[in-house]
Amino acid sequence: MVKAKAFAAGTIVNALAALKGVAFALNLKTTVRFIPGKESDFENKALGCVAKKVFRSLKIDGKVKVESEIPRRGGLGSSSAVVNALICAAYKYLNKELEAHSILRANARISLECGMSYTGAFDDASASLLGGVVFSDNAKMKLFKRETLEGKVAVLIPDWERGNVDLRKIRERREEVERAFKLAMKGKIREAMYVNSYEYCQALNLPFEPVSIAYNLGLNAGLSGNGPSYVAFGENVKDVKSLWESFGKVILVDIVSVPAEKVKIENSLFIQT
């Protein structure tokens, strides 16, 4: 039996509209155990699809057991974390070096092929595996840069669910979301999250009120992924907890800036400027 883990991912800029995203790692973990053998059994169809593709490419077989602290369908990168952890566990079993770019490209490709993501979620996958804040080009499957971030993050898991994702509506907002990405690249994270969240809340028909409440406290805050979860971080982040509790469950977790596993971070992972 071999195991590996990956982290949850929170959103600064969602890559769906412009194929460029900014995400950061949260200390909510998914652990995958790989048990080699002939008999394969999977907890659900999506996991079965992922495992079969990983197993086929690496010429192995076995069982997969998943334990996760990350809410599913919450916009917190739960799918990216499962795929990362599964690939890492398989590599460990084969004594393959954990090369970050290889793992992340495989993650994006498999996520697309198994219908778990609209863009391959290279931003979420990178944050989930590498920790810190990542600035990604999802089309090129590369990073512009990776930075460290510290502190606590408040995560709102609201009483409402995610609605339908209408790609046409989202991509109509490309220009504003690209502006949010440029703001983030300049270090204006608070403004980037506000602009990004305003556009996505409109497109996904989700409430913007949790964002404005946290923003008015001086926090970096926004919708995470395609929702329904929201994230906030910054000084006095604990102050938002009582205000957000009227919307649903609120948890406080650490931001993570170290990799989930001992990965090799190659220069090829980054766009050379």
* Per-residue confidence in pLDDT tens, the chain, 273 aa: 999 999 999 999 999 999 999 999 999 999 999 999 876 666 676 788 999 999 999 999 999 999 999 998 889 999 999 999 999 999 999 999 999 999 999 999 999 999 888 888 999 999 999 999 999 999 999 999 999 999 999 999 999 988 888 999 999 999 999 999 999 999 999 999 999 999 999 999 999 999 999 999 999 999 999 999 999 999 999 999 999 999 999 999 999 999 999 999 999 999 987
For position 171, what pLDDT does the model report?
A: 94
Which residue matches tokens 């076995």?
Answer: 62
Domains and CATH numbers, the chain: 2-149 (3.30.230.10), 153-256 (3.30.70.890)
For position 40, what pLDDT does the model report?
A: 64
Burial annotation 51-88 (CB, 10 A radius, 16+ → b, else e): bebbbeeeeeebbbebebbbbeebbbbbbbbbbbbbbb
Cβ-defined contacts of 92-100 (< 8 Å, 24+): 92/2, 92/4, 93/2, 93/34, 93/36, 93/60, 94/58, 94/60, 97/264, 98/261, 98/262, 98/263, 98/264, 99/263, 99/264, 99/266, 100/129, 100/130, 100/259, 100/263, 100/264, 100/265, 100/266, 100/269
Which is nearest to 28 in space by CA: 242, 208, 231? 231
CB 33 within 8 A of CB 3: yes
The alpha carbon of residue 153 and the mean position of all alpha carbons in its chain are separated, in whole angstroms, by 14
For position 43, what pLDDT does the model report?
A: 66
For position 141, what pLDDT does the model report?
A: 96
For position 203, what pLDDT does the model report?
A: 95
Tokens coding 134? 């990542």
Find all residues with CB under 8 Å of 166, minimum gap 6, and list them: 203, 204
Which is nearest to 169 in space by CA: 217, 118, 108, 215? 118
